[in-house]
Chains A and B, each alone.
Chain A
Amino acid sequence: MFSLTARFIGTFAAAAMGATLALAPAKAAEDTIKVGILHSLSGTMAISETTLKDTMLFLIDEQNKKGGVLGKKLEAVVVDPASDWPLFAEKARQLIEQDKVAAVFGCWTSSSRKSVLPVFEELNSLLFYPVQYEGEESSRNVFYTGAAPNQQAIPAVDYLAKQEGVERWVLAGTDYVYPQTTNKILKAYLNAKGVKDEDIMINYTPFGHSDWQTIVSDIKKFGSAGKKTAVVSTINGDANVPFYKELANQGIKAEDIPVVAFSVGEEELAGLDTKPLVGHLAAWNYFESVDSDANAEFIKKWHAYIKNDKRVTNDPMEATFIGFNMWVKAVEAAGTTKSDAVIDSIVGVSVPNLSGGYAAMMPNHHITKPVLIGEVQADGQFDIVYRTPGLVVGDEWSDYLPGSKDLISDWRKPLSCGNFNVVTGKCGGATKTN
């Protein structure tokens, strides 16, 4: 009852807002290419996703200054799916069918991506997904510009084992698909490296968990077995601030039990006093502190656009930047915005990333990235302490899970398959949800 009414009102409010936003730039519809932006502007995920909406508007603005795409200006169509997963599918359908957008940039949580996936496949449109995720998926219509587990989680664990000599692992996560799959992969990986089950503690907490006393004290207990212990955190969103506050208050220092997080970036640290957290780690493919000309220019233009030089940049912003530029390049190469032509032309497209290198779209619709490990500093930024020597190709089907280690994805013709089994030589169909 409660949630029904809640959803009803939420939908109503969001629809009203979506309608006004979508109506505003309706002028000169013929000469523009429409681009859909599908990020939550209200509800729990607004905290993370609003920035990506701003990033997209900024990138579109920059592109239009350069003359647009194929001689036409780009026009943003912003809708608000209000952190409500079924609403994401509805809004995606509206963007594609009514607004006739050429491509959609959006989603944050895996749940929202899974919700829109059938819509994009049914209507044969394009989705650029800019957030790190658990892998185990490859769709012809989706381009994954965030990290796959092998581009974030596994190098981070390697770093801790090698540099910090960690032997005992706490895998702490929020109870949903991304942490569970990532932890499954990590556990298989650690077991393969000879870590025993008794040296791995897996802990899940509900979304928005705020009382971390027991868990932090359990971590402390687990860490007092004479072996170097680290926490690998896939704790998501709102729950992070109370978690780090409790860590700091209970006096767990990074030198004793370091925490490496996959969902904590500059944006999440903005609400925290980071002085007691110096030395805790995060693994990403981009940090605002990256020392490169491309990054300096991006930050300068971003501050000028958003008119606030306190706004930070983060990894999903870079992934959005890469995805957008790849789409522009692929459209220009194809000479049209038609989905099939863009899907054919985008594989192999290579654009500069912000850390001084290039990102290329691979046949599995994932991209190449450097992996960076950063340590939290007192000013809320990260110091990069490790960087993979080369670029890492996103691996959609993990090599460490029994069900997926034989699968590959290649969307080039003639294979054109998202989960080709190299042992049986058969394509198992376009999608597999886990």
Chain B
Amino acid sequence: MWDCRMSLSRFLSIIAIFGFCLFPAVAGAQGMDDAKLTSLVQALAGDNFDETSTAVSGLAKSAAPRAAAILNALSAGDLYVSKADRSVFIGMRDGSDYAATDPLSGAKLPPVPRNTAEKIKVNNRLRRDIAAAIGGLTLMSGDAAERRSAAEAILKNRDPDSIALLDQALSSEKDAGIKLLMQRAKAAAVLNSSAPDDMKIAAIAEIKSGNGREALGLLTPLAGVEGPVGQAASAAISSINAELEIWNGIQNVIYGLSLGSVLLLAAIGLAITFGVMGVINMAHGEMVMIGAYTTFVVQQIIRTSMPGLSEYSLLLALPAAFLVSGAIGVVIERGIIRFLYGRPLETLLATWGISLVLQQATRSWFGASNVQVGSPSWMSGSFDAGMLTLTWSRLWIIVFALSVFAVLQLVLKKTMLGLRMRAVTQNRRMASSMGIRTPWVDALTFGLGSGIAGIAGVALSQIANVSPNLGQGYIIDSFMVVVFGGVGNLWGTLVGAMSLGIANKFLEPFAGAVLGKILVLVLIILFIQKRPRGLFALKGRAIEA
């Protein structure tokens, strides 16, 4: 019942738009008179979503010059209704008032106090209707972005009545990308219509060339149809599925690398404090957490004092997180751990205690709930590569993890500090008698490991919760990676993290996330039984010392 009315009104709206487009001068005269438009706008504030939806299609049908603007405002939640006289206006929050605009004329109205008006609510279904209505209104718009989203809305909505409109838009469209989208939208609408079979089969071919997942969604309902259309659809589905199978494998590898780089980031600091120095540092996760909170503080400062820099706040947070976590690491080493060298059990207990203290301190300082760390625009959203959807944040984290690894290698291999660190870990007494101040090297090494953990916190703030518990979630995984990769070897950590990540992602699709994780742990236990020193065991006398 409701659907019939919708499609009828769509049909009328198309006729109205045609009129509007072909004879703009006459359209005003043909369009509805102001009183009728006003009552339509009033009806947007109906008692339930059905009434609002009817008013939306009525408004789209009217082709009033401001219809798209009004519908946009409704969809964005900027349309309000006064509680007293039920008049509708576009409002912007302005202190305790709304700065009001008349929806039809666009003229400024006197401000309305906030408590005398209420927002006109929209739900998902209404938002879809609005998008389709706006799509019909803006398909011929001068703005390419508007045309693109109009075509996308029709592609989603698959309304057969929009075929004629799309044909017209296609004939004048210059942008190749939008043209392709419109063709696909038209094909989707054709499949949804009662067009003859040969048109539908052509449409299936058109859709098959598009995005795999989307095509599957459009074609699956057709597969059961009798006759050539159903056969063509089934054939298209099986060829898409075969292709998706291959892409699935690639996707697992990429997701695995992404999980692996998160593990690498979390573990690489530990690879220094535990792997190189041999300190069982249970407070390692809290260094990551402190890094994430530093990112939060840096963002807060930038937001209040230098809003222009907020896109780069993460880059500024990197050195800050390194310094804060590193400094805390040095303090912990000088204050506690140096008294416990050679006593692993006591070190474990003490650092676990430190981790609890740091967690609770953060909790009392920042509160127990999550804090919000924003993502810059270059790290949000995704892009399609073939049939894969890759998210920018994950991609940047892979790049970032590998660069941190490279820089750390450089520091260890090419700098004086790195040389001394390696000397002290290989033979402490010899290094000491060569004039190296081993206590300082210890402190700096621990600081370096902690600082790197802090940097990891900056990256993890983009994909995880920033809460006092952040570190706890990563401490077990970090130890797992370092032990699996081989204690004392950074390359081992890299290979260990990546192989654990990929193994996890290949197990997950058929074993499930819970069983997958258990399987990985079992495999590691078996592996450690066989090779107790991990993938890349250090050889030589240093180990026995």
Chain A interface residues toward B at CB < 8 A: 5-6, 9-10, 13, 41-44, 46-47, 50-51, 163-164, 175, 203-206, 208-211, 213-215, 217-218, 220-221, 223-227, 238, 241-242, 245-246, 248-251, 254-256, 258, 267-268, 270-273, 276, 279, 291, 375, 377-378, 383-385
A206 pairs with B517, CB closer than 8 A: yes
Most buried by B among A13, A51, A214: A214
Q: State whether A267 touches B217 (Cβ < 8 A).
A: no
A residues in contact with B509, CB < 8 Å: 214, 218
Cβ of A245 and Cβ of B121 under 8 Å apart? Answer: no
Contacts of A238 in B (CB 8 A): 465, 467, 469, 473
| Among candidates A44, A164, A205, A225, residue contacting B124 with C-beta atoms closer than 8 Å | A164
21 A-B residue pairings within 8 Å (CB atoms): A6-B352, A9-B352, A13-B360, A41-B368, A42-B356, A42-B363, A204-B512, A208-B473, A211-B255, A211-B258, A213-B259, A217-B389, A224-B213, A225-B217, A225-B220, A245-B393, A245-B463, A251-B389, A270-B372, A375-B124, A378-B77
Q: Which residues of B contact A255 (CB under 8 A)?
A: 124, 127-128, 131, 156
Chain A hits for B380, CB < 8 A: 248-249, 276
> Which B positions have Cβ atoms within 8 angstroms of A?
49, 77, 118-119, 121, 123-125, 127-128, 131, 156, 213-214, 216-221, 251-252, 255, 258-259, 262, 348-349, 352-353, 356, 359-360, 363, 367-372, 374-375, 380-382, 389, 391-394, 462-469, 472-473, 504-505, 508-509, 512-514, 517
Whether A377 contacts B389 by the Cβ 8 Å rule is no
A242 and B464 contacting across the interface, CB-CB below 8 Å = yes
Residues of the A chain whose Cβ atoms lie less than 8 Å from the Cβ of B251: 217
Whole-angstrom distance between the Cβ of B387 and the nearest chain A Cβ: 11
Q: Are B368 and A47 in contact (CB under 8 A)?
A: yes
Query: Which B residue's beta carbon lies closest to that of A6?
Result: B352
- Neighbouring B residues of A211 by C-beta, 8 Å: 255, 258-259, 262, 504
Partner of B123, one of A163, A227, A267: A163
Closest to B255 in A: A213
Q: Are A256 and B513 in contact (CB under 8 A)?
A: no
Q: Are B381 and A251 in contact (CB under 8 A)?
A: yes
**Cross-chain contact A46 with B514 (CB below 8 angstroms):** no
Partner of A9 from B255, B353, B462 at Cβ < 8 Å: B353
B214 and A44 contact, CB distance less than 8 A:
no
B514 CB contacts on chain A under 8 angstroms: 175, 204-206
Contact partners of B463 in chain A: CB under 8 A? 210, 242, 245-246
Q: Give A242 to B127 CA distance when docked, in angstroms.
A: 25
Q: Would B220 and A47 count as touching, CB distance under 8 A?
A: no
Cβ-neighbour of B372 out of A203, A210, A223, A273 (below 8 A): A273
Contact B392 A249 (CB under 8 A): yes
- Interface of A, secondary structure class, is mixed
Contact B371 A383 (CB under 8 A): no
Q: In the complex, are the beta carbons of A271 and B255 less than 8 A apart?
A: no
Closest Cβ–Cβ distance, residue A258 to chain B (whole Å): 6
Name B216's closest neighbour in chain A (CB-CB): A224
Interface pair B382/A271, CB less than 8 Å apart:
no
Whose C-beta in chain B lies nearest to the C-beta of A308?
B367
B369 near A246: Cβ-Cβ < 8 Å:
no
Given A215-B513, A241-B464, A47:B469 Cβ within 8 A: yes
State the CA gap A258–B348 with chains docked (Å): 45
Chain B residues near A213 (CB-CB < 8 A): 255, 258-259, 391, 394, 505
Measured CB to CB, the nearest residue on chain A to B388 is A217
Are A5 and B349 in touch, CB under 8 angstroms?
A: yes
Partner of A225, one of B216, B349, B467: B216
Q: Which residues of A contact B131 (CB under 8 A)?
A: 255
- A46: which of B353, B363, B382, B465 is its contact (CB, 8 Å)? B363
Cβ–Cβ < 8 Å partners of A209 in chain B: 513
A210-B473 contact in complex given A46-B363, A250-B389, A385-B121, C-beta closer than 8 Å: yes
Which residues on the B side are within 8 Å of A210 (C-beta)? 262, 463-464, 473
Determine whether the beta carbon of A42 is less than 8 Å from that of B359. Answer: yes
Bound-state Cα–Cα, A6 to B283, Å: 12
Cβ–Cβ contact B394 & A256, under 8 A: no
Known: A164-B124, A213-B394, A383-B121. A270 touches B369 (CB 8 A): yes
Please state if B382 and A203 are interface contacts (CB–CB under 8 Å). Answer: no
A246 touching B124 in the complex, CB below 8 Å, given contacts A42-B363, A226-B220:
no
Query: 12 additional contacts, CB 8 Å, given A46-B368, A271-B370?
Result: A9-B349, A175-B514, A209-B513, A210-B473, A213-B505, A217-B251, A238-B465, A238-B469, A246-B391, A254-B124, A272-B372, A385-B123
**Closest chain A CB from B124 CB (angstroms):** 5
Q: Complex formed: what's the CA distance from A370 to B110 in Å?
A: 38
Alpha-carbon distance A76/B255, docked complex (angstroms): 50
Q: Choose one: A9, A221, A279; the contact of B213 (CB below 8 Å).
A: A221
